[in-house]
Structure 1
Amino acid sequence: MSALLVLVVGLVAGIVAGVTARRHGRVDDSAHQMVNFWVLDVALPALALNVLHSVIFPANLLLIVAGPYLLFAFSATLFLWVGRVLHLRRDVVGALIVTTAVANTSFVGIPMVTAFFGAESVPVALLVDQLGSFIIVGTAVIAVAATASGAGVTRAEIARRLLTAPALIALLTGLVLRPVAFPGWLTAALTTLGSTLTPLALFSIGLQLRIGAVRAWRRELAIGLLVKLVIGPALVFGIYALAGSLGDHGVQVALFETAMPPMVAGAMIAMRYGLATPLPSLMVGVGVPVSLLTLPIWSWILQG
């Protein structure tokens, strides 16, 4: 549970730092951007390059990693429909998709899988994260964020932002270089850089979190977390149930991963593109504690 502890400490430290700094006027509202630069342009690419270079592919790979893609498709469709019905702004719909259509399959997912399914199930969780959530964040999430960030953004500009995103470049590089063995010093360096992502990302989100904003964004927050923690996983669960695959232990772990709270990297990307601030930070700040109540229920359903 050490990873979960790091997540909580990072978030709380960011909240305390933000409240203290604003109270004494020592920091402006753009201070978090310096932290975001490190997280999105250094730590995340380092992690992507490292894990995609060394991941091992099992025989039932497609069955295991399909969950995150189904979750993203279902969630994005639901948010687009809700956006039309409730006449939500373009950036709000974009923030909901970017922040909550992908699950936190690593920072929260791995400790939760260890707690409810045992340490022997962690390799499955890593595959779901690296070949599912990670690839979606590096491609579809960036594309949605670029599209939702402004009506004046051209397709060429969206393509440029997507293709020049450091995380996507690192992800593709890791796959291309799989036949090439990395020297030990490079692997160690990438591991160290990647390990800074969790505490700094949560610190940045906590720094921007305004607890008082929960009331102003309560409708959007409730919609996002209902889809992320309940409806989205239930739809994916239903697809696997119809396919008769629920008896597979790997599938159970993969489905459990789809029930995790909003992904930190997605929230960071939403904030970089200025999507409905402070909704993305609220999604993570509120979603992680709430998921500690919903995840035991999903574990019981899957293993019952």
Structure 2
Amino acid sequence: MSNLILIFVCLILGIVLKRAKIVPENFHSSLNAFVINISLSAFSLYYISKIELNSSVIFPALVPWIGIFFAIIFFYILGKIFSWKHSVIGALIMCAGFGNTSFIGIPVIQALYGEEGLKTVMLVDQPGFIALSTVGILVANFYSGSKDSLLKHLTKIIKFPPFITFIIALILNSFSIEIPKEIDETLLKLGSTTVPLALVSVGSQMKWKKIEKQEGFYLFLGLTFKLILYPLLILILYKYVFLQNGKIIDISVLESAMAPMITAAIIAEAHHLDSKICNLMVAIGIPLSFVTLAIWHYVLQVL
């Protein structure tokens, strides 16, 4: 229960700090930089180095890849049917195709499944960043008309701290190398800053704007895909096609049902895709996802 309370307390703190102008305008950028480069790197090294690597880990790792390719197909077809602008199609693909698997996923999964569940979260989150930095960038470039080099972005991935620690953790795990106790405890403490800092950042970035009729239609389709259709696809594929069950599969389904990823929305806006759709998808998707996640959790307990 305390973890659930922490989620809402930190979200509210972020909103209050921003509205009261107690903090600088873009203070969330500093929080995000610390969380992504330090906290998540520590989390990745701590948990991935200890997880049992077997055939089941492929399922959480595939979640973000299935999501973005499903989103590309889904919104490309709808865009053709309704003759949408490229900026709208691209914004919907980016915001509905990538989930908030760390900033929202970590506290939610920790609250529902405890510390053990965070190992699976890392197996979804780290491949998710790779998908965002490759396929996501290609999508943003294509729908904005940008000509940025893919090689440039691949170089950024190789230099990205969470990716580096992810690879190190896999190597340590593969060769059964244990991290010294003192360093391990330090990694855990650094990783534990992820939840409060990430949620305060999310709260500070939540903005609500007046929704026009057409924008409401885009928003409805985008959130229906992200919060309902995509997790439904993962549920059907994993449980009824591949006949998989267990905690890893349940967490994979819940991770697919997370709200739109803030980082994906930022990249979409930076590429001049429809900024209002991006903002609405995040601002409304995050609070709404707590309701849909509760429903999905109940469904998983019943099945």
| TM-score normalised over the length of structure 1 | 0.77
**Counterpart for residue 190 of structure 2:** 193
Aligned CA distance change for structure 1 residues 105 and 38 (closer, same or farther; 3 Å):
closer
1:156 aligns with 2:151: yes
CA distance in 2 between partners of 1:194 and 1:19 (Å): 28
2:110 maps to a residue whose letter is I
Aligned CA distance change for structure 1 residues 6 and 256 (closer, same or farther; 3 Å):
same
SS of residue matched to 1:297: helix
1:253 maps to a residue whose letter is D
**Counterpart for residue 96 of structure 1:** 95
**Counterpart for residue 260 of structure 1:** 257
Pairwise CA distance, 1:94: 5.4
**Counterpart for residue 9 of structure 2:** 9
Q: Deviations over 1:141-196 (max 9, x none)?
A: 22244432661311221211222222111111111123322112211221111111
Pairwise CA distance, 1:273: 7.1
Q: Percent identity?
A: 21
CA distance in 1 between partners of 2:248 and 2:50 (Å): 22
RMSD: 3.4
1:294 aligns with 2:286: no
Which stretch of the first structure deviates more once superposed, 176-185 or 270-279? 270-279
The answer as to whether partners of 2:94 and 2:136 remain within 8 angstroms in 1 is yes
SS of residue matched to 2:24: coil
**Counterpart for residue 141 of structure 1:** 132
Pairwise CA distance, 1:250: 3.9
How many equivalent residue pairs? Answer: 288
Pairwise CA distance, 1:38: 0.9
Pairwise CA distance, 1:126: 3.6
**Counterpart for residue 181 of structure 2:** 184
Aligned CA distance change for structure 1 residues 202 and 57 (closer, same or farther; 3 Å):
same
**Counterpart for residue 34 of structure 2:** 38
Aligned CA distance change for structure 1 residues 66 and 159 (closer, same or farther; 3 Å):
closer
| TM-score normalised over the length of structure 2 | 0.77
CA distance in 2 between partners of 1:174 and 1:258 (Å): 21
1:237 aligns with 2:229: no
Which stretch of the first structure deviates more once superposed, 66-75 or 226-235? 66-75
The answer as to whether partners of 2:48 and 2:166 remain within 8 angstroms in 1 is yes
1:175 aligns with 2:170: yes
